[in-house]
Amino acid sequence: MDVNEKLKNVVSKKIKTTMVGAVSALEREFGLTYNKETNDYVVENNGEAIGINALVECIKNVRDDIFDIGNNQLRMMNSEIDEYFIVKPRMYVTKFTIIGD
């Protein structure tokens, strides 16, 4: 595996982990368990309705969890890039020579 592929894999893994973590935060906060066999959710809180204040609090908790997960993955990705890679931009320079009369 070349360096570019390795870097792509590192970044891809961190982004996927962030997305899975975000979904997990939603499921945990709203008391849902995903059943792979039925491809559906099982409600753990017996389907009880929640009030608007509780819903707003749930959304705040999920928002904080998602940002925590994303920021953690970003820090880990930056650390891994610093540890294993030397990133150099590919710059192309074209020189034009002007020939006078």
Q: What residues does each domain of the chain span?
A: 3-84
What pLDDT band is residue 45 in, cutting at 50, 70 and 90? low
Residue in the structure block whose two tokens are 């996927």: 16
Q: State pTM to two decimals.
A: 0.67
| C-alpha span between 21 and 65 (Å, rounded) | 8
- Band of pLDDT at residue 66, cut at 50, 70 and 90: very high
Residue 48 near residue 55, CB atoms below 8 Å: no
49 — alpha (psi -120 to 50), left (phi > 0) or beta?
beta
CB count in 10 Å sphere of residue 14: 19
Residue 36 confidence class, pLDDT cut points 50, 70, 90 = confident
Please give the pLDDT value at position 46: 66
pLDDT tens, residue by residue, 75-100? 998 998 888 888 887 888 888 888 87
Phi, psi of 59 (to 5 degrees): -65, -40
